Amino acid sequence: MRVLLVEDDAEVARFVRKGLGEAGHMVEHSANGRDGLFLAASEPFDVLVLDRMLPGGVDGVRLVETLRAQGVRTPVLFLSALSAVDERVRGLKAGGDDYLTKPFAFEELLVRVEALGRRPSGDAPATRLRVADLEMDLLSRTVTRGGKRIDVQPREFRLLEHLMRHAGQVVTRTMLLEKVWDYHFDPQTNVIDVHVSRLRQKIDKGFDKPLIHTVRNAGYVVRADP
Amino acid sequence: MVASPRLWRALGGAGVRLAAFFAALFLVAGVAFVMVLWLATAGALDRQADAAIRADAAALVERFRDGGAAAVAEAIGDRMAEDVEQEALYFLADAAGTRLAGNLDGPGVSAGDGAWQGGPLLRDGERAEARVLRRDLPDGGTLLVGRDVQDRQALRALLAEGLASSAAVALLLALLGAWLVRRALEARLGPAVETAAAIAQGDLSRRVPLSSSRDEFDGLGLTMNAMLDRIGQLMDGVRGVSDAIAHDLRTPIARARNNLDEALASARDEAVLRAALERGIVDLDNISRIFQAVLRIAELEAGARRAAFAPLDLAPLLEDAAEIYAASAEVREQTLEVSVSGPLPLVGDRDLLFQAMANLLDNAVKFAPPGGRVRLRSSLLPAQAGGPRLLRVSVSDSGPGLDPAERARAGERFFRADGARTTPGSGLGLSLVRAVAALHGGELRLADARPGEVPPGLEATLLLPVEAPSPPV
């Protein structure tokens, strides 16, 4: 993926460039909003990672507003030290697609960038999801593994659906809270882990190959290979 | 009591300007009054006299057409005889300039038919202040008709003198009025200026004294005082944050630092070092979470977060929160009873309310013993007289509860009851809940869940008004 990083803090920029580079992405970097806007408007990128506050008169929100006004639809992830929910809402209203508060774990950033960069396929909406021998029927809302029906509660169904739609991709705990429960909050404890492990009990118990894997320091992934 | 000279000067400037404006207005009104008076008296007299002279002259010219110069001379003679006050002035001459009749000695310097002349003329050898109209007669003769204006000029001088002295009095009054206005302004604004100056010098306890009249100035004072109260609150908030940071962030930072230091100095192999680093990351994440929570509480307490307020139904939100924490309860083999009946309409911030519920449920699950019970209940209270309708949401647990002293302190930042020292947590959960409740115009109440029993358990109750709270002053 080609990623444009607009970040004025040299240390954060180095850290993000290195990390994304190691994950196999091409990263262009500019240290101020003006250059960033120029690059973003003139070259094709898969994802823009923008600091919310930038020097040079063009901050992250202005940059996105200008890009969107020009018809550039590249997905945007905001990085910000401003944690206030109002700030998040402002960033998303301006045309941002995701918002990550500093300090962040690099895995969280990587997962989100990759999720943004994956363009939705133009296929008709799937009615069945499948990972190895695990199958999910979105119409009858049933889950089977190896042909055997597994009873899941509605929320577990949504949790599994989100993981299976992103099979092979790491999904972080915060992303699950946002996408499956649709709340932005700090759960205080590892309550998401509890939900995932309950789901795992139902999906993986009694089968040789576990499908739900924990990724250290990041989150969860559903995939056939360990 | 010493206000800064600059403030006083600024106030003096405004006072003087205002006073000068009033004085000028007063003077303009006075001048207008005098002008109208003048036109109505002296002016009217002049116009009347001129009209009489003009009519007299016209009559004499008419007489000339009927009976010639002799008839005019006779008429003049009659008029002078009838003029008891000796004011009328006449002069009639033929074409050669010979005087035929009248009391004026000569025609003066007036030129042409219909011309007026004034000033001193000789009347029977004496100087007289006269106003005279000249008419040329068809035979080339000259007719002057006029009035002696000596008395009128005396009257006019008297009138002018009177007006001038009253103008002087008016000016004095205007200046006095200006001074009084300025004094009054200073007297009313002075205390506010002094207060502001004292506050600018750092004494935030000062407030603007109010008079009993409840006028506009008191309105200004009240607004200033409200503003000062708000500033005080914000300052307390900032102080609270810095206290909190000093108090509770230093410890974990120091601990994380020591761990890393120690690992660096004495770790024997990479695995130990790696474990220490991972622990360091966890510590840092915790620190940043505490930091975030502290900032968030401060932000809430400042009342600065109402952008996301919207009408919502609390019931599904409560059910979602219960569903999330039911999993934690289950792990601890606790039962989570939920009795929520909707709809529970409310205007508020969805994520914040959810966070508050999450904190309460998380606490309850944490403090209820394994196998214990947690209950989430909600109800819409009937409207109290005069008060808003309230939503009641309570979370109770079968844990150790809090004794009254601890209960009073719970909700202070970083307060942790003795019994909670061994449980994980930052001590910020309840202060956040309290701040969220306050932002929504409600409150958090803590009580024994089962009064009289051992352990009493804790019941945390949120009371939230159904109507949108008005923004804080």
Question: How many whole angstroms separate alpha carbon A118 and alpha carbon A46?
Answer: 8
Q: How many domains does chain B have?
A: 3
Instruction: Judge whether B210 lies within some domain.
Output: no
In tens, the pLDDT along B322-356 reads 999 998 898 899 999 999 987 888 888 888 899 99
| Closest Cβ–Cβ partner in A85, A183, A194 for B305 | A85
- Across the interface, do A183 and B349 touch by the CB < 8 Å criterion? no
The residue among A179, A183, A193, A202 with the most chain B CBs within 10 A of its CB, best to mutate, is A183
**Cβ neighbours of A189 in B, within 8 Å:** 328, 362, 366, 424
Question: How many whole angstroms separate alpha carbon B130 and alpha carbon B117?
Answer: 8
Domain boundaries, position B244: 216-301
Instruction: Judge whether B163 lies within some domain.
Output: no
CATH code for position B372: 3.30.565.10
- Across the interface, do B289 and A186 touch by the CB < 8 Å criterion? yes
| Closest Cβ–Cβ partner in B288, B350, B429 for A188 | B429
- The answer to whether residues B318 and B461 belong to one domain is yes
From the list A134, A98, A111, the residue with the least C-alpha distance to A219 is A111
Q: What tokens were used for B124? A: 């029977």
In tens, the pLDDT along A179-196 reads 898 888 888 778 899 999
| Closest Cβ–Cβ partner in A89, A101, A188 for B358 | A188
- Across the interface, do A194 and B328 touch by the CB < 8 Å criterion? yes
- The answer to whether residues B339 and B278 belong to one domain is no
| Closest Cβ–Cβ partner in A83, A101, A189 for B328 | A189
- The answer to whether residues B288 and B319 belong to one domain is no
Residue in B closest to A181 by C-alpha: B320
Instruction: Judge whether B55 lies within some domain.
Output: yes
The residue among B306, B324, B359, B360 with the most chain A CBs within 10 A of its CB, best to mutate, is B324
Instruction: Judge whether B473 lies within some domain.
Output: no
- The answer to whether residues B293 and B367 belong to one domain is no
- Across the interface, do B351 and A184 touch by the CB < 8 Å criterion? yes
Instruction: Judge whether B19 lies within some domain.
Output: yes
Residue B441 exposed, middle or buried by CB count within 10 Å (0-12, 13-18, 19+): buried
Tokens 């004794």 found at: B403
User: Which string of DSSP letters, residue by residue, matches B327-361?
Assistant: HHHHHTT-EEEEE--S--EEEE-HHHHHHHHHHHH
Q: For residue A225, what pLDDT is reported?
A: 78
The residue among A85, A88, A152, A188 with the most chain B CBs within 10 A of its CB, best to mutate, is A188
- The answer to whether residues B281 and B339 belong to one domain is no
Question: How many whole angstroms separate alpha carbon B53 and alpha carbon B144?
Answer: 10
- Per-residue confidence of chain B (473 residues) as pLDDT tens digits? 444 555 555 555 666 777 778 778 888 888 888 888 888 888 888 888 889 899 988 888 888 888 888 888 888 888 888 887 778 888 888 888 788 888 887 777 666 788 888 777 778 777 878 888 888 888 888 888 888 888 888 888 888 888 888 888 888 888 888 888 888 888 888 888 888 888 888 888 888 888 887 888 888 888 888 888 888 877 776 776 677 666 667 777 888 888 888 888 887 888 888 888 888 888 888 888 777 777 777 777 766 666 678 889 999 999 999 999 998 898 899 999 999 987 888 888 888 899 999 999 998 998 899 999 999 999 888 777 777 788 999 999 998 888 777 777 766 655 555 555 455 555 678 888 988 898 888 889 988 888 877 788 899 999 998 875 554 43
Instruction: Judge whether B192 lies within some domain.
Output: no
- The answer to whether residues B292 and B361 belong to one domain is no
Residue B94 — φ and ψ, nearest 5°? -85, -175
In tens, the pLDDT along A25-61 reads 999 999 888 889 989 988 889 999 998 888 877 888 8
From the list A213, A124, A122, the residue with the least C-alpha distance to A170 is A213
Residue B28 exposed, middle or buried by CB count within 10 Å (0-12, 13-18, 19+): exposed
Instruction: Judge whether B174 lies within some domain.
Output: no
> pTM for the whole thing?
0.61
- The answer to whether residues B244 and B367 belong to one domain is no
- The answer to whether residues B319 and B407 belong to one domain is yes
Question: How many whole angstroms separate alpha carbon B109 and alpha carbon B290?
Answer: 108
Last residue of a domain, one of B106, B138, B157: B157
Last residue of a domain, one of B267, B301, B335: B301
Do the beta carbons of residue B26 and residue B192 sit within 8 Å? no
User: Which string of DSSP letters, residue by residue, matches B114-158?
Assistant: T-EEEEEEEETTEEEEEEEEEEE-TTS-EEEEEEE-HHHHHHHHH
- The answer to whether residues B17 and B153 belong to one domain is yes
- The answer to whether residues B439 and B456 belong to one domain is yes
Instruction: List the beta strands (DSSP E) in chain A.
Output: 2-6, 26-30, 47-51, 76-80, 98-101, 128-131, 134-137, 142-145, 148-150, 171-172, 212-215, 219-222
- The answer to whether residues B373 and B250 belong to one domain is no
Instruction: Judge whether B456 lies within some domain.
Output: yes
B interface with A, Cβ–Cβ < 8 A, is 278, 281, 284-285, 288-289, 292-293, 295-296, 299, 305, 307-308, 320, 323-325, 327-328, 330-331, 349-352, 354-355, 358-359, 362, 366, 424-425, 429
Structural domains in chain A, CATH included, are 2-117 (3.40.50.2300), 128-222 (1.10.10.10)
- The answer to whether residues B295 and B320 belong to one domain is no
Question: How many whole angstroms separate alpha carbon A33 and alpha carbon A59?
Answer: 6
